Structure 1
Amino acid sequence: MTRIVATEPLGVAPTWAVLQRALFDALDEAWRVYEARYCEPDGSLRYTGSMQPRDGADDFYEAFTGWGVLYQLGGSAELLAVTKRHWEAVTEQMDRRGYIADEFELGYDWFHIGEQLTVFLSLCAGDPADESFHARAVRFAELYLPDSPTGNYDQANRMIRAPHNGGGGPRHGVCENWRSYGAELTNMQPYGLPLEDVPGVDSWEDLADPANADAMGKAMWDRLGQGDVAVNLAATSLAANAWLYGHDERFRAWALEYLDAWVARAAANGGIVPDNVGPAGEVGELHGGRWYGGNYGWTWPHGLHTIGMAVGIAVLNAALLSGDPGRLDFARSLLDQVYHLGVDRPVDDSDTPLRDRWAAELGEETATPTFLVPNRYGLGGWFDFQPPQVTFPVWLWQTSLSDADWKRITDLRERGGYDWRTVRDFRNKEDAGHEAPWIAYLQGDNPDYPEQILGVALSQVRRRLALIARDTGEVKDRDIHHWQRHNPVTTEALLQLTTGTPQVLFNGGLLPFRVSYADAETGRPGLPLDVASLVDTVEAGRTCLELVNLAGTGTRRVVVRAGGFGADRIDEVHYSGAETEYPGAPTAYTAPASRPVSRIAAVGASEVAVELPPGTRIRLDLRVTVRANPARHRTTTIEGTS
């Protein structure tokens, strides 16, 4: 492995570097506080309360969202074993409750399965040498292959047979407690009617009539609980994850075949992906021939938020599996068509039920006219206008690094009526939402972003710790979302700054880093102790970053890796150095001046080793060939350097 040595004295440490290491330290303390408060000795959650018949398992896994990713980034070495223990304990806990079949969700929708899957995927990526998780990854992916005894997949029609599916196979119907869907379900009221064509039910108030509630519940069971739905596209992450271990062609073939079926359906629908396929394989079969109206579809409950997430996850998986960025066209077309329908209007005047989310992201600018796009479609046409979620086009660009995908993002900024440079102190469910100011930073227009987003991350850790400290009562029968609302682990800022990568697509996305690291001394992934990193340039042929060693005495050795799952090749690295007599004579009041020098090293591999003596810094300009290698899970064993 090519090895370069930092020679530039650090001098006054940059604020971002000090804040970044402070964030690592704060997170290392915070997860321990959380674990002590909410977990049993075996790693399960302290909970003995009631649960709904199908809904709930995802929330127990989500209690540990981000923990495996934090380990990958350089969090405590203990986090790997700790997160595995919690995953296994929660799996056993949910198995006892009847939610699990052979360690996988018995049968639920992929909006929720995807949420819980992110923890598992991070453990597979963080330790590919773990044979138990490798075996699980293969077993889970096999649940959806054509020859699986579960029967999840109908190969003749290229469809998953039910909106609820999993380890127990197709699970027809919806939640049993929705057999009667009445007006008392006030938590669902903001999303409107699940089906708009049930006789006698024209408004939410009509559901107050028990007969109407029963009619709605039966229609939901019969129509929303059958056939394939677009959100099932997120299941391709199981196949992609298993394929990354050994390139088993079975998984690649299934994921691409399943995605291609939805691509064909969208093409037949004018480019907009339909949200439902009936048991016989026909779009609109259960919805009067309409392409919309399916479970977690365009009409109910979230529309583009759910479908865009699933489509985005599927095309990113396809690009990973095939090495072909053209696979992203399916999602590109979807976004472009929705954006074409946009209007300029304040969020305060929109019809979205999610104003609280946008109030956090935009603050007082919800009163300013901005670009809004429709998120849902029903019998009355397009509705639920919201600002575009920047994470979707950002991930397309992150995967392709094409000028056209970058332009889609910059066009959104130009059309938007709010300031993309503003960094607000919030944390949403996905631990995301700061993509706009990050993009402005990468554009060279937001130089203070690193310090600001790290300050926000530290603020949010402190807030979660304060919530935990105030949470003094019995926790065994709390709301099952209680844990995720107190989880203090945040990774958004660290992902953006250290790896040049946006937050993972929350409902089941894989996380291919633009740049990743390993400690050359220990072999574990992530930044070594005392080392901070800042990625400030991401382009098709270049990734630029700075490494800083804040240690006063210890040399740190870090391996810098390019591309998601090792797919990119570093052809050469241009790096900074200094000719200096630092620290100079003890009789002098200041250190001697250094003369900056630039050097170039040939690499020809996906990684390069960097030695950082104490109190040094180095800037790396990686010249890369993207997608030069097939992506794969890679162990953290460090080979010799030269």
Structure 2
Amino acid sequence: MSDVEIRQSIPRMTASRQVVPPQWALTERLLIDQLDKAAIEFVARYTRADGTLIWRQDWPGMDGSDDPYEGFMNLALLYMLGGSSKLHELARKIWEGITWQWTEYGQIHREFDSYYDWMHHGEGYLYVYFLGLAGPVTLKDRQRAVRFAGMYTGEDQEALNYDTEHKLIRSPITGSRGPQFELTAEDWSTHRGILDDYLAPYEDIPGVDFASGKCQWSNDAVYADIIRMMNERMTRGDVPLNLNATGLVANAFLHTGEEKYRSWVLDYLSVWEKRTQQNGGIIPDNVGLSGEIGQYNDGKWWGGYYGWRWPHGFMTIIEPLTNACMNAVLLTGDMSKLDLARKQLDANWALRKEQDGMWVVPNKHFDTGWTDYREASPKYPVYLWIMSMADEDLERIERIPRDHDWNEVIVPKLSGTDKKTGRNTKHYIGNTQPWFQYIRGLNPGYPQQILDANIRLVEQQLTKMRSEAGDPLNWTNQYSEDDFSSIHAWQEMCPVYMESLIQLTLGGPMHISHGGFQHARVRYYDAEAKRPGLPKSVAALVKELTADSVILELVNISLFDMRSTIIQAGTFGEHQFKEAHVLNEEGAIIETTSVNAQWLLVDLPAGTGVTLRLSMDRFVNTPSYDMPWSDREKNVLLEGRKL
């Protein structure tokens, strides 16, 4: 579309209030600028000109292809928010480079991981979802989305991961080479030293004291027994972790709009709802190839791969459930699709007990019953509440006792749990609770605090990256069991993290790190540059969310340039704006514009700002990666020879 066509087809309004840029706006633009520069330096330090990573010559085992993707996926996400256009080019080149490199290592086949579980697939393929948001979508994006989804819908004859009759994914270990019913000692070779400090996957491994909470994977005899028992009990049939595959199939829907992808997501979620009902309201963690719960596990509903017993317990149960339920709401607008995750949170809460003066809930189930009691995490009900804005989901958050000040902002670490607040900080995501407080009007100082913390995080990461330990030329050239950690080096050194920008500009929490879409209330496009993201010198702040509105402030900090910003209703255009009310400093309406569209164009003359209350209908549009400009090739796919 031409500029004229854009301006005729999208409702338009102009900001007229001259403002002195508030500190949050100046800091937000500073952070974007610093992240741009940090990203370029990060790429220069760790990649070659062809997008491959400066790393070792070999890498064994099935683990690892997710980690390089995780280290660089935020280039696309930062571009989507308004980062440099150079980041878009780099994000695509590096995705291609990593994919080629790990194909040469032997783990990626047909551009997709040969086989691994859906915790790790979920982490790595966030990169693919972010490239969709960083449009315009390319033919390669669309073709890959369809091909990857086909590996999980039963359409790909080389990767028959899905049983269309029983509606189950046939193994916890799947990928472009199909389900892996037998794992080898080499598959787990890179994990052995790490897993020495983890709980044993079974309670009856010869020579292992299960009660010690340790299991010597590095012991050859123990290791042989573990692999044998895994192949007997764990590698056939379905597990809740596989619900993260709904993201890959929903991604194909966002690219194509084809009904078969939506139907698959809903059918697969539905079959897990039935299994949960059959199991008395607790989701089982292992389902055999016949559909029988506990088929290869002596009838036990617990004890499956990444299930209730090993290795993480409830986290790897509730996360894929939450992701899948949110995906189903996105594709349908039906809030009852959240019920499976809601009911699991309720069932877990019903099992609570008082311990040391605090209410705690079980995270694991052993043969002896529920165990590993911990304080409940408010993160998952926050995700549900952001989708539904329902009182029942708010109550699920409010019932959790507060063991620390939920307004407190932290500078998160890479992974693990912050000792002071108890917050898990995977991918440097650690401030969901103080943002939740802010968006409800209970933490007014949050915007400046989180922006300051984000700048400190970037500074911290740059220091690590520039250190001698951060020099890839100092890393081991070939694999050794004593050097496993370097597979995570890019995440550990990466300075491109932007929790503050997601929360403040889009109006949503950061995605769930193990495969969750970046759900949020709004997103932006630069109308003049015809690209995703806030235009240069424009800052945005989502100040309030309700079930049918969002309050948003836009500021053009430049005193010289006019900017034109397109606001989209929902990350995927799933919402619809009704009216745009301009608010004065007291919050009173001084002007109203009829919108009735999923986009609104706001002109911001130099030095102006505007606060808008945008009324909206949520989840009424078909979600997609579509930008405000038409894509004549949206339904184009290449077809190969039929041999």
User: Mean Cα displacement is larger for which, 189-198 or 231-240?
Assistant: 189-198
Provide the residue aligned with 1:221 in structure 2. Answer: 231
TM-fit CA distance, 1:201: 3.6
TM-fit CA distance, 1:223: 1.6
User: Mean Cα displacement is larger for which, 59-68 or 291-300?
Assistant: 59-68
TM-fit CA distance, 1:343: 4.0
Compared with structure 1, are the counterparts of its residues 519 and 202 closer, same or farther at alpha carbon in structure 2 (3 Å cutoff)?
same
1:26 aligns with 2:34: yes
Match of 1:328 among 338, 348, 352: 338
TM-fit CA distance, 1:157: 1.6
Provide the residue aligned with 1:256 in structure 2. Answer: 266
Provide the residue aligned with 2:407 in structure 1. Answer: 421
Compared with structure 1, are the counterparts of its residues 251 and 224 closer, same or farther at alpha carbon in structure 2 (3 Å cutoff)?
same
The 2-side partners of 1:225 and 1:306 are apart by: 17
Provide the residue aligned with 1:386 in structure 2. Answer: 374
1:275 counterpart letter in structure 2: D
The 2-side partners of 1:274 and 1:206 are apart by: 24
The 2-side partners of 1:25 and 1:636 are apart by: 25
Compared with structure 1, are the counterparts of its residues 519 and 153 closer, same or farther at alpha carbon in structure 2 (3 Å cutoff)?
same
Aligned pairs for 1:124-523 (under 5 A) are 124-149=132-157, 150-174=159-183, 176-177=185-186, 185-198=192-205, 201-203=208-210, 207=216, 211-345=221-355, 370-412=358-400, 415-427=401-413, 428-470=425-467, 471-472=470-471, 473-475=473-475, 477=477, 479-523=486-530
1:406 counterpart letter in structure 2: L
Deviation track 1:490-536 (CA, whole Å, cap 9, x = no partner) reads 12111100011111111112223211111111111111111111111
Provide the residue aligned with 1:364 in structure 2. Answer: none
TM-fit CA distance, 1:212: 4.4
Decide whether the 8 Å contact of 1:567 with 1:626 is kept in 2: yes
TM-fit CA distance, 1:198: 3.5
The DSSP-based 3-state class of the residue aligned with 1:623 is: strand
Decide whether the 8 Å contact of 1:8 with 1:576 is kept in 2: no
Provide the residue aligned with 1:75 in structure 2. Answer: 83
1:38 aligns with 2:46: yes
Match of 2:615 among 605, 610, 623: 623
The DSSP-based 3-state class of the residue aligned with 1:516 is: strand
1:542 aligns with 2:542: no
The 1-side partners of 2:99 and 2:347 are apart by: 41
The 2-side partners of 1:282 and 1:128 are apart by: 44
The 1-side partners of 2:204 and 2:189 are apart by: 16
1:411 counterpart letter in structure 2: R
Decide whether the 8 Å contact of 2:58 with 2:105 is kept in 1: no
Compared with structure 1, are the counterparts of its residues 559 and 136 closer, same or farther at alpha carbon in structure 2 (3 Å cutoff)?
same
User: Mean Cα displacement is larger for which, 203-212 or 56-65?
Assistant: 203-212
Deviation track 1:550-583 (CA, whole Å, cap 9, x = no partner) reads 00100111011112311111110111369xxxxx
Provide the residue aligned with 1:600 in structure 2. Answer: 592
The DSSP-based 3-state class of the residue aligned with 1:78 is: helix
Decide whether the 8 Å contact of 2:288 with 2:295 is kept in 1: yes
Aligned pairs for 1:95-134 (under 5 A) are 95-134=103-142
TM-fit CA distance, 1:45: 0.9
TM-fit CA distance, 1:342: 2.9
Compared with structure 1, are the counterparts of its residues 200 and 278 closer, same or farther at alpha carbon in structure 2 (3 Å cutoff)?
farther
**What is the root-mean-square deviation of aligned Cα atoms in Å?**
2.3
1:422 counterpart letter in structure 2: E
TM-fit CA distance, 1:210: 5.3
TM-fit CA distance, 1:339: 2.0
TM-fit CA distance, 1:540: 0.5
Decide whether the 8 Å contact of 1:8 with 1:577 is kept in 2: no
TM-fit CA distance, 1:190: 3.9
Compared with structure 1, are the counterparts of its residues 268 and 629 closer, same or farther at alpha carbon in structure 2 (3 Å cutoff)?
same
Provide the residue aligned with 2:63 in structure 1. Answer: 55
Decide whether the 8 Å contact of 1:128 with 1:245 is kept in 2: no
The 1-side partners of 2:508 and 2:560 are apart by: 31
1:4 aligns with 2:18: no
TM-fit CA distance, 1:179: 7.6
Deviation track 1:287-307 (CA, whole Å, cap 9, x = no partner) reads 111111111111101111111
Decide whether the 8 Å contact of 1:6 with 1:577 is kept in 2: no
The 2-side partners of 1:251 and 1:201 are apart by: 45
The 1-side partners of 2:24 and 2:389 are apart by: 26
2:520 counterpart letter in structure 1: F
Deviation track 1:344-367 (CA, whole Å, cap 9, x = no partner) reads 557xxxxxxxxxxxxxxxxxxxxx
Deviation track 1:399-421 (CA, whole Å, cap 9, x = no partner) reads 22222222222332xx2221101
The 1-side partners of 2:506 and 2:601 are apart by: 16
The DSSP-based 3-state class of the residue aligned with 1:538 is: strand
1:316 counterpart letter in structure 2: M
Decide whether the 8 Å contact of 2:208 with 2:215 is kept in 1: yes
1:235 counterpart letter in structure 2: A
Compared with structure 1, are the counterparts of its residues 632 and 447 closer, same or farther at alpha carbon in structure 2 (3 Å cutoff)?
same
The DSSP-based 3-state class of the residue aligned with 1:281 is: coil
The 2-side partners of 1:443 and 1:190 are apart by: 41
Listed as ranges, the gaps of 5+ residues in structure 1 are 347-368, 579-593
The 2-side partners of 1:621 and 1:608 are apart by: 12
Provide the residue aligned with 1:609 in structure 2. Answer: 601
2:160 counterpart letter in structure 1: G
Decide whether the 8 Å contact of 1:7 with 1:577 is kept in 2: no
Decide whether the 8 Å contact of 2:137 with 2:625 is kept in 1: no
Compared with structure 1, are the counterparts of its residues 481 and 595 closer, same or farther at alpha carbon in structure 2 (3 Å cutoff)?
closer
TM-fit CA distance, 1:596: 8.7
TM-fit CA distance, 1:489: 0.7
1:318 counterpart letter in structure 2: A
> When the two structures are superposed, what TM-score results if normalisation uses the length of structure 1?
0.89
Aligned residues: 597
TM-fit CA distance, 1:206: 7.5
TM-fit CA distance, 1:25: 0.8
Decide whether the 8 Å contact of 2:142 with 2:256 is kept in 1: no
1:328 counterpart letter in structure 2: L
The DSSP-based 3-state class of the residue aligned with 1:339 is: helix
Compared with structure 1, are the counterparts of its residues 444 and 494 closer, same or farther at alpha carbon in structure 2 (3 Å cutoff)?
same
Decide whether the 8 Å contact of 1:559 with 1:608 is kept in 2: yes
The 1-side partners of 2:223 and 2:101 are apart by: 33
TM-fit CA distance, 1:162: 1.1
The 2-side partners of 1:436 and 1:268 are apart by: 34
TM-fit CA distance, 1:476: 5.6
Listed as ranges, the gaps of 5+ residues in structure 2 are 1-9, 414-424, 478-482, 632-643
Deviation track 1:181-221 (CA, whole Å, cap 9, x = no partner) reads 9xx94522443111123455443578587544432331023
1:313 counterpart letter in structure 2: N
TM-fit CA distance, 1:97: 1.0
The 2-side partners of 1:573 and 1:180 are apart by: 58
TM-fit CA distance, 1:597: 6.9
